[in-house]
Structure 1
């Protein structure tokens, strides 16, 4: 992690969980902006858990896996405005917490030592991709309500990161080339079958 020279003592990363309209409905959030309200709900909850003044609620990875409150003395953090030890199980719905726990365990199998009492989870990052998805044709990738517009990537609600946004752009580019008669093959024969995108990821 770095503010300039990539030479700090921290290595920062995000854990991402897919959420959908089912998650919104479970919290009685409906309509085209339900995803925005979903974001706001957890941002407010995290702000309250941190105690205000932009202090962030945190928990060590080992305590998060054991569902116990971290002590008042937690590892140092790259977050400059301050952290407060909390139980992040109180922040997320249980299925999101479970997904995060399973992800940590899987990471540790691939990268032994990933789970550590020195690792600190910060809550909550809600801006991985757009909470609103612009409708598009599954075949042409063209917007269903505005001809000539090709909504792609994170901002349009079709990706959750740099790589998935790049892949979505490739599919869209091939689809546009095909519609203009510049490409006559199968997109899948080159890139494989596209995965259906969720509404948003956090």
Structure 2
């Protein structure tokens, strides 16, 4: 074998190895990123279902003529704010996710206030449409929790893939950045304070 051929073979092998590594990294990162996007779509679907149910719930509660308008207004405003936020799943930043979480938490708080206030309205509590919507909301909250959990589960392998060395080198070249995890909604660590005014009968 000619002496100049050996270095050439080594160079070809090294180049092919780097190429194979880069292709393998990129393809895996794309697949994992698609899983994240799919999981985020499921999160948005669950939140959209809650938003639709809240709209129906508000319309049902409006039927109670003497129901506190300020409580309804806060729910309507929080719902409008929540539905106005959109996030690109291919580029979810920690700041975007924190803002989304904060706004959805505001809607959750307004909804809790509405449901507590309903306790003072026996006719509304007995309304079958309201009861059905309340059950569907409880079911949807479970779906949201599941969707958020699965989103975090999809984030973990993606982040492990793009953040570990030496993959992190290629990640910076191909613009694959780590993604933020869903955290609990603000104030979730505190149990809600529920007060019933049994002396105020409507």
- With structure 2 as the length reference, what TM-score do the two structures score? 0.26
Give the structure with the larger helix fraction: 2
Write 1 or 2 for the structure with the bigger share of strand.
1
TM-score (norm 1): 0.26
